[in-house]
Structure 1
Amino acid sequence: MGRKYLALAGALCIVAVTAGGCKSSEEETVKNIKIGVTLYDQYDTFLSEMMTEFTEYAADKEEESKVTINLEILDASKSQLTQNEQVKSLIEKGCNVVCVNLVDRTEPTTITDLAENNNVPIIFFNRELVAEDLERWKDLYYVGADASESGTLEGELAADAFKENAAMDKNSDGICQYVVLEGEAGHQDSIVRTEYSVNTMVEKGVETEKLGYAIANWNRAQAQTKTAAMLTQFNGKIELIIANNDDMALGAIDALKASQIPKEEWPGVVGIDGTDAGLDAVRNEEMLGTVYNDKEGQAQEMLNLAFAIATNGTKENIPLIDGKYVRTPYHKVTQDNIEDYENKQGAVD
């Protein structure tokens, strides 16, 4: 099956095999199910790649089970109000289950109330809501990974590189001078990834000094602009750039390429997600490493859970924690094991 990367423009309806999106039918049986999805931002690279995997797994599941799976995937364009309306619309169209990539993790109440009042289960994914909110109703679930683990592994990547490569310590003071590119201000994943990455470096014996940080909202272009400013501000003092995701790490690399700094004098750059472009940067020795966020595993687990819910099937083979959570592990990616993860991505090509 060829990889079908999505160009999600506006509200995109993807339908496997049959037309009709999420429109209900009196003749519908377990042989025809409807799954709605709403994304916080269709232009998020990780989400786009995850949705490609999700649609391909849905097609595979359809062929295996002989159940028609209709998908409708919508973009909330970073608006919680828009997302609330999308969930309402998907429920009204008769979706058996709705998968929600929350815009604002602290504001799921409208969605959970809609779900409970209409008895339509919700699978939240990738952007984790507050634990107490997931307990509001029995048919709320979460599929994703542990942000603290990603920060820990990113810190290990950075610490190992600093200890093994003396050239990273530009001023030979034994201290790693670093800057941070953070996602959204106040967002849990941003805070946790930053905290755990730096704390892990210290725990692994690397003394650190924070020179500065910038909010780049998970965005490559914003990260390029912010990094360029910090390169000027700190004028050769930066030894490490810690980015909360690969897109921002790549933005830092774009800024370095546009600067007058020779590549051998670049600060080290580490990221999180293991996107296609992020893996390319590791292979090209532009990034020290990235932390692989298992989009294939998350897509498959979310599809399996949604399918089980929609068909009233068993959840016995789904690795639910406390009956609510499915968590996939992160993995460190460096030059030493890059081929393993490129092969993983190519497995569905």
Structure 2
Amino acid sequence: MTPKMMMTASMLALGLGAGAVHAQDDPVKIGMAAYGLNAEFMQLWSAAGEKHPAVQSGMVELTVFDGRYDALVQQDQFETMITQGYDAIVFAPMDVEAGATAVQLAVEAGIPVVGSNARVNSDQLTSYVGSDDVEAGYLEAKAVLDKMNCEGDVVIIEGPIGQSGEIQRGEGNEKALAECPDVEILERQTANWSRAEAQSLMENWLTSHGNDIRGVIAQNDEMALGAIEAIRAAGMDVDNFAIAGVDGVTDALNAVKEGRMDSILQDGEAQALGAIDVAIKAVRPDYEPMSDIWKQYPDMPWNGGADSEYNVPWTPVTAENVDALLAARQ
């Protein structure tokens, strides 16, 4: 037994595990473990959790943890939640492999863990509420390639290496690129979901490849927006590039409206609300969902909160729906 496992066993022996202390009339104590809160998408995800009807009513006591884009920080936060007797954890992991250790620690302490937004390689999750990143990677790459008529060369700006979004969106990117065998990938590198890092990468690539770059496949919107800033800073015309990202953050919605890029909306609000519903159900078996997402997405039925996976659909951002999507952010 590892020292961390011994620590968890000691907590259980002392009655510190969640199942040992929770009473039916007490608020359900849930931790939302975000991989990082520097960028808008995870801010929207966590803010949605704080607006869940069960949180607003006092049924749930919710704490949001900023993982600071570091799997070790997230593991330390899990250990804190175990020590403090949390009842359930909603987990958006930084690393698909490293996050499994944190899940194991919590489950062995009697705390159910519901995955949300990003995947972890663990069979100990109570459930997963997120979206199909392979599909997103395909849709964004196809949007770029269609604008290019499958002619010319592209660069790919990847997410953090080892996170499920990077892995699965990369699979989707490759699937779309296979349909355009004459398109060459000039460069591919991570910018860690960061607009600033993507801008720096794109500046270097424009210096190296200039007008040879026709398309930019960015695995999230922040990085697509960074690429746009680099193109502008170089005095080049954004209209000469096909650019796409994923998430539907506010700046990207505005960029779509202005015709500068394509984006696919990831409904982080639905992911967060659904994950909290499932987490409450794991603690209180008689709970019925209080969020509206199960009506919003009838093709994703509640099924008693017992499904191992809930797949929130993607929404391609278009000229027809972008104003409504922006209005919803007000």
The interval holding the TM-score normalised by the smaller chain is 0.7 to 0.9
Contact 1:157 1:270 in 2 (8 A): yes
Q: 2:130 aligns with which of 123, 144, 168?
A: 144
For 1:292 and 1:206, how far apart are their aligned partners in 2?
27
In the alignment, which residue of structure 2 is the partner of 1:176?
152
**CA root-mean-square deviation:** 2.8
2:145 pairs with 1:159: yes
Contact 1:24 1:93 in 2 (8 A): no
- Counterpart of 2:165 in structure 1: which amino acid? D
Superposed counterparts of 1:153-302, under 5 Å: 153-163=139-149, 175-203=151-179, 207-264=182-239, 266-287=240-261, 289-302=262-275
Q: Normalising by the residue count of structure 2, what TM-score does the alignment of the two structures yield?
A: 0.82
For 2:279 and 2:22, how far apart are their aligned partners in 1?
21
Q: Secondary structure at the match of 1:73?
A: strand
Contact 1:320 1:326 in 2 (8 A): no
Contact 1:36 1:73 in 2 (8 A): yes
Q: CA deviation at 1:246?
A: 0.3
Q: CA deviation at 1:117?
A: 2.4
Could you give the per-residue CA deviations for residues 11-61 of structure 1, whole angstroms, max 9, x where no partner exists? xxxxxxxxxxxx99979543522111222212132111111111112xx33
Give the aligned length. Answer: 302
For 1:211 and 1:322, how far apart are their aligned partners in 2?
45
In the alignment, which residue of structure 1 is the partner of 2:307?
323
The verdict on how the C-alpha distance between 1:98 and 1:249 changes in structure 2, with shifts beyond 3 A counting, is: same
Q: Secondary structure at the match of 1:42?
A: coil
For 2:175 and 2:67, how far apart are their aligned partners in 1?
34
Q: 1:306 aligns with which of 279, 283, 304?
A: 279
**In terms of mean alpha carbon deviation, does 184-193 or 33-42 score higher?**
184-193
Q: CA deviation at 1:191?
A: 3.5
Superposed counterparts of 1:9-28, under 5 Å: none
In the alignment, which residue of structure 1 is the partner of 2:294?
none
Contact 2:145 2:215 in 1 (8 A): no
- Counterpart of 2:214 in structure 1: which amino acid? E
Q: Secondary structure at the match of 2:211?
A: coil
In the alignment, which residue of structure 2 is the partner of 1:337?
321
Q: CA deviation at 1:201?
A: 4.7
Could you give the per-residue CA deviations for residues 279-311 of structure 1, whole angstroms, max 9, x where no partner exists? 111112221x10111112112211211222233
For 1:97 and 1:119, how far apart are their aligned partners in 2?
9
Contact 1:88 1:114 in 2 (8 A): yes
In the alignment, which residue of structure 1 is the partner of 2:50?
55
The verdict on how the C-alpha distance between 1:206 and 1:341 changes in structure 2, with shifts beyond 3 A counting, is: farther
For 2:164 and 2:27, how far apart are their aligned partners in 1?
37
For 1:298 and 1:280, how far apart are their aligned partners in 2?
23
2:67 pairs with 1:94: no
Q: Secondary structure at the match of 1:210?
A: strand
Q: What 5-or-longer segments of structure 2 have no aligned partner?
A: 1-17, 290-300
For 1:321 and 1:105, how far apart are their aligned partners in 2?
24
- Counterpart of 1:153 in structure 2: which amino acid? L
In the alignment, which residue of structure 1 is the partner of 2:5?
none
Could you give the per-residue CA deviations for residues 144-164 of structure 1, whole angstroms, max 9, x where no partner exists? 11111101211332233233x
Q: Normalising by the residue count of structure 1, what TM-score does the alignment of the two structures yield?
A: 0.78
Could you give the per-residue CA deviations for residues 90-110 of structure 1, whole angstroms, max 9, x where no partner exists? 122221101122222102343
Q: CA deviation at 1:329?
A: 1.3
For 1:29 and 1:119, how far apart are their aligned partners in 2?
16
Could you give the per-residue CA deviations for residues 67-95 of structure 1, whole angstroms, max 9, x where no partner exists? 43211111222332322221121122221
Q: CA deviation at 1:318?
A: 2.4
For 2:91 and 2:39, how far apart are their aligned partners in 1?
15
In the alignment, which residue of structure 2 is the partner of 1:167?
none
The verdict on how the C-alpha distance between 1:192 and 1:94 changes in structure 2, with shifts beyond 3 A counting, is: closer
Q: CA deviation at 1:186?
A: 4.3
**In terms of mean alpha carbon deviation, does 310-319 or 234-243 score higher?**
310-319
Q: What 5-or-longer segments of structure 1 have no aligned partner?
A: 1-22, 164-173
For 2:212 and 2:288, how far apart are their aligned partners in 1?
53
